[in-house]
Amino acid sequence: MLETSLKIKLFGDPVLRKKALPISKVSAEHREILSLMAKSMYEDSGIGLAAPQVGVSAQLIVVDIGEGLYKLANPKIIKKQGKQAIQEGCLSVPGICVKVKRAKTVWVQAWDEFNQPIELVAKDLFACVLQHEIDHLKGKMIVDYAPLLEKLRIKKKLAKLKEKTKTWKYTI
């Protein structure tokens, strides 16, 4: 049985580095996971979330940049065009921002939650979020895009964050 609320996995959790498995058919359980992912995303004021971030190594993502919720299975980028660089945050790397160079427009093929094939043409922020979430399915995170010195700074900051979280866990 699934929990009613999913916990967001943080940087350092091995599930975030695993390649997510493709879905052969979106099942009722997958639909439930997608709904819970959307709930978690909204609760944490995110605009996208990938299944590995809730500990599920499957190719499922949810995205809502304020123009409607997309629940996608097996999303694939089939074409890219142009360039953009946006400061990105990630629910699994709280408090960290990395400027990531990505394509400005992407064409994405996926299935919706009822196994219907869909194709999206996404621009600007929507394109950025889709690329970010599809990266998660490959085990890639924003930290990987940071220059070396920045990476070291981020790792230090995240180590401190983990210590803090540990303390909070036992605070009643």
Catalytic residue ranges: 133
Among residues 56, 58, 16, 62, the alpha carbon closest in space to that of 35 is found at 62
Minimum separation from the CB atom of position 106 to Ni ion (A): 16
The region of 5-13, 33-41, 90-98, 151-159 touching Ni ion under the rule CB under 5 A is 90-98
Residue that is written with structure tokens 């070291």 in the block: 152
- When the beta carbons of 34 and 90 are compared against Ni ion, the nearer one is 90
* Site for Ni ion, residues 55 to 84, rule: CB under 5 A: none
Minimum separation from the CB atom of position 132 to Ni ion (A): 6
Which of 20, 90, 100, 129 touches Ni ion (CB under 5 A)?
90
Contact yes or no for 54/40 (Cβ under 8 A) = yes
- When the beta carbons of 87 and 167 are compared against Ni ion, the nearer one is 87
Q: Using CA atoms, how far apart are residues 170 and 164, in angstroms rounded to an integer?
A: 10
Minimum separation from the CB atom of position 34 to Ni ion (A): 16
Minimum separation from the CB atom of position 29 to Ni ion (A): 23
> Both tokens of residue 131?
């690329």
What is residue 5's DSSP assignment?
S
Per-residue contact track with Ni ion, 92 to 131, x per CB under 5 A?
----------------------------------------
Residues 6 or more apart in contact with residue 105 via CB below 8 angstroms: 80, 81, 82, 121, 122, 123, 127
- CA contacts within 13 A on the Cβ side of 103: 17
Q: Is 6 in the site for Ni ion (CB under 5 A)?
A: no
The SS3 call for residue 96 is coil
Binding stretches for Ni ion (CB under 5 A): 90
